[in-house]
Amino acid sequence: MTDTERHDFDVVVIGAGGAGLRAAIEARQMGARTALVCKSLLGKAHTVMAEGGIAAALGSVWPQDNWEVHFRDTMRGGKMLNNWRMAQIHALEAPDRVLELEEWGALFDRTPDGRILQRDFGGHRYARLAHVGDRTGLEMIRALQHRAVSIGIDVFMECKIVRLLQDPRGAVNGAVGFWRDSGSFVTFGAKAVVLATGGVGKAWKFTTNSWECTGDGMALALWAGADLIDMEAIQFHPTGMVWPPSARGLLVTEGVRGDGGVLLNRDGERFMFNYISPFFAAETAATIEEADQWYANKVDFRRPPELLPRDEVARAINSEVKAGRGSPHGGVYLDIASRRTPEEIRRLLPSMYHQFKELADVDITTTPMEVGPTCHYSMGGVRVEADTEATTIPGLYAAGEVAGGMHGSNRLGGNSLSDLVVFGRRAGRSAAEHAMQTPGDRVISEAQVAEVTRHATSYFDNKGTENPYAVHHDLQETMQSLVGIIRVESELLEAEDKLAELQDRASKCTVEGGVRFNPGWHLALDLESMLAVSNCTTLSAIARRESRGGHTREDYPGFRPEFENVNMVTRLVDGKYVVVQEPKPQMPDELAKLFEEEAH
């Protein structure tokens, strides 16, 4: 295997969604020789599916908005589990990153005086999301993609990274992958590697996530010895399509509610008023009359409960359906038709109009949508240092959904796109600086490369009956039913056992056909990542005996003081997954004051 194709770079970025593109751009602009490696074609990453907008306190609609308000909203939305420093950096830098996208060609919707228009979203005090109708992610990825191409970044498309490479001291010095088309292996030598591979939604049955979201970066980090944090925090977006079956889980943007849409049960009741938790009662409208006045006057009125953070809304929908007040296909109604004119709906929500028309035969300008919770986002991820995005392994950085900390136990809508560019840029910068301080070429261990390729191709030698598609199907069923939106210890323990069985079955998967563009083989390798991450999620979920944000325990409802200041850290020790509780970083007094002031 010593004749493997080899490329050497200063910085290798794995993943070409918003975070990976922004990291690669930054590293390249810093003068580092930079490679961008992605599992799909360039411009197809899951970022294109982001709809509603990018959160930044630009203050162009509500001048009262500023970074402190955004910071506070983000922390409260995350139920205070967020890494405070990441939330602060994010709120401070997001406006500059949005303006930068505009400088690279993005065309955000405008205010009457020509500035960037901002839209309402759940958990945000003011209209804060810069957007392009309901296809903001596409706009963002294209602006970044064009920028990356124009500055000559080397892009390696349809290349799946299987393992990171490390020097004898453990520092990351490269990665091994294969071309999906030819199946031949390729080694990247690197002075620094940035993980920007996104989330792991494909481990669940009903998900908004695209094919690529198999937790690759989290698993690569884990296998290299890095820490993951708060893996129990999985966001179930309240509004996914529930019908037809094949479209189940597809995202229905929160922008529908931001633009006035309301949630109704079978009886036509705006049930969200029955689910206002004490944590948010002071800032949420108590009556329909008050809620409806808020859209035009955010100073004197409080936010409608439909715009509570996503974890709150998802749990409420789940409860309504369980109580027998759901829609015919097991969701609830999301009604924009009675709240906006058909012209407004088509202008504000063109993709939603198109999606329901094409896939469900539903005209959302006349008919309410049927929606229900769907697995959307992993708040947890690779543990990083807030300012530099350095992981616990030298030479390895992480940004975007693959990293943990920024969003605490629940992410606010719109904070993901801003996260990608804020921390993508910082990760690219840190990686380039690290590379420049690292003299000489990296010495890659041929034995490591050979071991990775031997392992990856071993699936062709298996002579069993296990099929990767069947194992994936069963993994999705397991995570959906046992590690879903509402969790309980007995089921989590059952999931642990099932995951062990699935791990065993996955290792015996037999791949038919050859190495050339063979999705069965690709899935067998993606399963390794999904299983590793699912194990961490389940272990963390067992350990956190409280309910917080995206982690809801039926047997431990509500916050518990002993977990308030705790990150759940998962890592591999001697080939076994372990979870330990570590204190989360404490915010300085001047920031803590922002929350005291709001308490009364």
Partner 1 sequence: MAIDTEPAAATPPAQPPAAAPKDLVMRLWRGNASGGRFVEYRLEPQEGEVVLDVVHRIQASQAPDLAVRWNCKAGKCGSCSAEVNGRPALMCMTRMSTLPADEPITISPMRTFPIMRDLATDVSYNYEIAKLIPAFKPRPRDPDGLYRMAQVDIERGQEFHKCIECFLCQNVCHVIRDHEDNKPRYAGPRFFVRLAELEMHPLDTLDRRDYIRRVMGLGYCNITKCCTEVCPEEIHITDNAIIPLKERVVDAHYDPIAWLGRKIGRRPAPLPAAQAGEYTGAAHAQPAAGPAPGPGDHAPARSESGTGG
Applying CB under 8 A, the residues found at the interface with partner 1 are 40-46, 48-49, 99, 102-105, 107, 109-110, 113-115, 117, 132-133, 135, 137-139, 142, 146-147, 149-150, 155, 157, 181, 210-212, 243-247, 250-251, 351, 354-355, 358-360, 467-470, 473, 511-514, 516-521
Active-site annotation holder among 257, 303, 544, 571: 257
Residue closer to partner 1 by CB (options 247, 488) is 247
Which of these, 372, 400, 402, lies nearest to 200 by C-alpha position? 402
Answer whether 502's CB lies under 8 Å from 467's CB: no
> CB burial class (10 A; 0-12, 13-18, 19+) of residue 1?
middle
Secondary structure element (H or E) that encloses residue 34, with its range: strand 34-37
How far is the C-alpha of 419 from the C-alpha of 426, rounded, in Å? Answer: 10
Residue closer to partner 1 by CB (options 183, 309) is 183
**Which residues pair with residue 377 across a beta bridge?**
235
How far is the C-alpha of 425 from the C-alpha of 92, rounded, in Å? Answer: 14
**Cα dist from 399 to 103, 295, 566, whole Å:** 22, 34, 22
Residue closer to partner 1 by CB (options 105, 588) is 105
Q: How far is the CB of 131 from partner 1 (least distance, A)?
A: 11
Q: How far is the CB of 107 from partner 1 (least distance, A)?
A: 5
In the three-class reduction of DSSP (H, G, I as helix; E, B as strand; rest coil), residue 21 is classed as helix
Residue closer to partner 1 by CB (options 359, 594) is 359
**Cα dist from 452 to 20, 180, 248, 560, whole Å:** 24, 16, 36, 43
Residue closer to partner 1 by CB (options 483, 511) is 511
Residue closer to partner 1 by CB (options 177, 380) is 177
- Report the DSSP pairing between strands 5-14 and 185-195: parallel
Helices (runs of H) and strands (runs of E) counted in the chain = 17, 18
Answer whether 188's CB lies under 8 Å from 9's CB: yes
Q: Mind giving me the DSSP string for 194-222? A: EE-----GGGSSSBS--TT-S-HHHHHHH
How far is the C-alpha of 345 from the C-alpha of 336, rounded, in Å? Answer: 8
Q: How far is the CB of 225 from partner 1 (least distance, A)?
A: 30
Secondary structure element (H or E) that encloses residue 12, with its range: strand 5-14
> CB burial class (10 A; 0-12, 13-18, 19+) of residue 447?
exposed
Q: How far is the CB of 205 from partner 1 (least distance, A)?
A: 14
Lateral strand order in the sheet of 118-119: 54-55, 129-130, 118-119
Residue closer to partner 1 by CB (options 132, 264) is 132
Residue closer to partner 1 by CB (options 74, 478) is 478
Q: How far is the CB of 519 from partner 1 (least distance, A)?
A: 6
Q: Mind giving me the DSSP string for 465-532? A: S--HHHHHHHHHHHHHHHSSSSB-HHHHHHHHHHHHHHHHHHHT----S-STT-HHHHHHHHHHHHHH
Residue 257: active-site member:
yes
**Cα dist from 574 to 115, 162, 222, 224, 454, whole Å:** 55, 20, 12, 12, 21
- Runs of H (alpha helix) within 173-283: 216-223, 255-258, 278-281
Answer whether 134's CB lies under 8 Å from 253's CB: yes
Residue closer to partner 1 by CB (options 151, 580) is 151
Q: How far is the CB of 110 from partner 1 (least distance, A)?
A: 4
Q: How far is the CB of 512 from partner 1 (least distance, A)?
A: 5
Which of these, 97, 569, 52, 570, lies nearest to 310 by C-alpha position? 52
How far is the C-alpha of 199 from the C-alpha of 401, rounded, in Å? Answer: 6
Active-site annotation holder among 28, 124, 131, 237: 237
How far is the C-alpha of 384 from the C-alpha of 424, rounded, in Å? Answer: 12
Q: How far is the CB of 440 from partner 1 (least distance, A)?
A: 31
Indicate the angle between helix axes 136-150 and 415-436, nearest 10 degrees.
20
Residue closer to partner 1 by CB (options 133, 368) is 133
Q: How far is the CB of 74 from partner 1 (least distance, A)?
A: 24
Answer whether 384's CB lies under 8 Å from 392's CB: no
Q: Which residues are catalytic?
A: 237, 257
